Structure 1
Amino acid sequence: MSDTVTPRRPVVVAIWLVLAGIVGWWAAFSLTMERFAQLKNPGEAASCDFSVLVQCSANLQSPQGSVFGFPNPIIGLTAWMAPVVVGMALLAGARFARWFWALFWLGFAFAITFVIWLISQSIFVLATLCPWCMVTWSVVIPSFFVVTLHVLREGVIPAPRVRHVAERLMPWVPLMTLAAFVVIAVIAQARLNVLAQF
């Protein structure tokens, strides 16, 4: 029996991966350019600094902005190419082995974990909302849902009941994503009183 999955071409998943990868890469690129500008002109406000609450500078210059010893956006510049490549390959009819999908999912599991941590740091420690960071959050969250449900419904984990549930949940990804956004917004409002800033 073949070890590959995805006997049907998941066009919607593929298109989403390409679009999410492009948006995520653009956010990472924009943040990287902002960081370069800060290094070139120390003390100068970033173009995405709109207020004390909504800004990029505090995030980029903080220890949380360079968790691994280099600016976090560099991770995005490399990592967001993977969904684009995988999405384009799926559109071209490629089929991937189970181990590939497992590793691909692990990448998004790391991404969502990292994003959740960054959200908590941004809201509870830095007390800022970075515009380009929020763009990244907005594509990581639904992408994690999409990839998780896709690998489950395609049998990467051999569990028939799970496949059926994942298949039925896939159309609900937009609502799941909206729910996640609402939770983040409520937490941000409760902690930072965002509405009072406008």
Structure 2
Amino acid sequence: MSDRLDAVPYRRPTALAILLIVAGAIGLWAAFMLTVDKFHLLEDPGAQLSCNFSVLVGCSKNLNSWQGSLLGFPNPLLGIGGWTATIAAGVGLFAAGRFARWYWLLLNLGVVLALALVIFLITQSITVLNVLCPWCMVTWAVTIPTFWAVTLYNLKEGHIPVGERARKLFATLYGWVPLITIVSYAIVAVLAQIQLDWIHRAFI
């Protein structure tokens, strides 16, 4: 399979590169803002953060919870490192860089771990903490398409080894990443509505 892949002329994945840069920049900004808010809470546990809009929508409860520091330090620090790497990968691709297979697999591992963390935090937010954190939701919003785009690209390109028929399927699905992302958003929104009734309570 690798010989066939090497024989195919390289086509720069411009759309993926742009997605990685844009999503990385948005995610980095969200992680930075959460880090700043965490500093404010460390200085004053009762601080009123700009992201606190109501009982349902705010950052303080998430940042002060154990879920907000899973590895013993604030989760946003993971975002700062991870999204910086995402931007670097996007810039490398945009500059016509051709990455080795191991690089793609590491990048894919990174987005899989990021999505797993996001799914855990979404679940905790809507079932345990009962609050929607604005900057957290921005992070969720860019992690989801990044996961789908990177994973489906690796599957269609053969970086993740699958059969030819499967590669054709994943190549088709890769073109539908925007729709798949919207469906993913809808699932989260529906689950949040069922648990929190956020449509009626968001600004109460």
TM-score range (shorter-chain normalised) is over 0.9
TM-score (ref. length: structure 1): 0.96
Partner of 2:166: 162
Q: Which runs of no fewer than 5 residues in structure 1 stay unpaired?
A: none
Matched AA of 2:188: I
CA contact (8 A) 1:48 1:131 kept: yes
Give the deviation of 1:44 after TM superposition: 1.2
Matched AA of 2:186: V
CA contact (8 A) 2:126 2:192 kept: yes
Partner of 1:177: 181
For the aligned residue pairs, the C-alpha RMSD in angstroms reads: 1.6
Match of residue 64, structure 2, among 54, 61, 64: 61
Partner of 1:48: 51
| Residues 1:74 and 1:6: Cα distance change in structure 2 (over 3 Å) | farther
Give the deviation of 1:39 after TM superposition: 1.0
Deviations 1:112-171 (A, max 9, x none): 011000000000000000000000000000100000111011111332122211111112
Give the deviation of 1:15 after TM superposition: 0.5
Q: Which runs of 4+ in 1 moved over 3 A?
A: 1-6
Matched AA of 2:195: R
Q: Which runs of no fewer than 5 residues in structure 2 stay unpaired?
A: none
d(CA) in 2 for partners of 1:26, 1:2: 40
Partner of 2:30: 27
CA contact (8 A) 2:27 2:139 kept: yes
Partner of 1:153: 156
Partner of 1:77: 80
Matched AA of 1:95: R
1:96-175 → structure 2 map (5 Å cutoff)? 96-158=99-161, 159-175=163-179
Aligned residues: 198
CA contact (8 A) 1:6 1:95 kept: no
Deviations 1:30-70 (A, max 9, x none): 00000001111221121100000000000000000000000
Deviations 1:80-118 (A, max 9, x none): 011111111111111111111111101000000110000
d(CA) in 1 for partners of 2:113, 2:160: 19
Q: Percent identity?
A: 51
CA contact (8 A) 2:5 2:158 kept: no
d(CA) in 2 for partners of 1:96, 1:156: 10
Matched AA of 1:195: I
CA contact (8 A) 1:18 1:84 kept: yes
CA contact (8 A) 2:155 2:170 kept: yes
Matched AA of 1:189: Q
d(CA) in 2 for partners of 1:110, 1:70: 17
Partner of 1:196: 200
d(CA) in 2 for partners of 1:57, 1:39: 11
1:83-98 → structure 2 map (5 Å cutoff)? 83-98=86-101
